Amino acid sequence: MKAYQFRTLCLAACVFAGAGVALGQDTQPQPQADDEPVRVGEGVTTVQPVAIPYMPTPAAADTAAGKAEALGRQIAQIVATDLGNSGNFTPIGPGR
């Protein structure tokens, strides 16, 4: 048998062996008997507390929108208000 035929035969054997292994695998993991599916937006019975810290700044600076420290507090207040208004969270922490 010539060397190039032997290499071709070995390559074909590797391809078929790899295809057999790939075809023998499950494409999706099977769920366990005690696993329950996650249902987003269903079954929320309690409001979750969430801490919203003030957004710190590396240094005190004045910007066109105001002082950097005040802006960090305002951003935290907006986030806390939005989460509180969603009905799913109770913001806790400074200023609450």
Q: 35: which DSSP letter?
A: -
Question: What is the residue extent of each domain of the chain?
Answer: 46-96
Candidates 75, 36, 39; CA nearest to 55 is 75
pTM here?
A: 0.49
CA atoms within 13 A on the CB side of 64: 0
Mean pLDDT per block of 10 residues along the chain (96 residues) reads 62 60 61 68 76 83 83 89 90 72
